[in-house]
Structure 1
Amino acid sequence: MNLRVTTETDTFVYATSTLRIGGLDPEDFIILILPMATLNTAGFQPVVCTFVGAFCLWLYKNMTKDQPPGFLPVLFAIWAGASLNTRFVQSIPPLRKMFHALVKLINNIWIRHGLLPLPSYCHYYER
């Protein structure tokens, strides 16, 4: 278990414990299973699906070998928050509503689990 203290406040402490099965993080299984399921649905043989899934996992692990475990949800959340503030998303109301709902969902999940909300969404959270 890793105990971390944020620099923003001296009272907010949270603990993280990543679940690793066979040395793989939970997001690694998404990278493995998604290509396998897609190819299996397309009608390819299971052996081919397994090899393609293993290759995608190997490629993903090589590309992200310097990243800490669990960085993918953080990266996705930061991308969603930054996308909400772009001029393109702000100019299209349905797209803005979709990104706003996505950011609210991510923030609710993070707050429910005792984590900080998105940095780009903090001004909404503090109201």
Structure 2
Amino acid sequence: MKRAAYHNELDAVFAALADPTRRAILSQLAAGDASVNELRAPFAMSQPAISKHLKVLERAGLIERAVDRQRRPARLKAAPMAEAVRWLEEFEQFWAGSFDQLDNLPQDLKQSRTKRESDNE
């Protein structure tokens, strides 16, 4: 995949995941396919509002919609989320180093205080 296309897809995934309603919809879909009305049930939202969220999720590649007679059930597609996780994992070493520094902070502060106290004597 070309770099620009990869970043556009990643941008769409993160934009879709930025909304708490869309994250809740994805959590519902993790339990299985659901219709718009089934997805709408936990929210105080209209069917058109939920449909707009579904369109954002669909454009980001996070769900797909099938036609099943009169229903259009949505189904979770986790592959784009896996790409986002892989991208986030690139920062794992940075965070590990930051946490190591945080772990050392109390000891560093104690040493600094001890040094200041001995300098003041």
The TM-score normalised by the length of structure 2 is 0.29
Point out which structure has higher relative CO (alpha carbons under 8 A, 6+ apart): 2
Higher helix proportion (structure 1 or 2):
2
The TM-score normalised by the length of structure 1 is 0.28
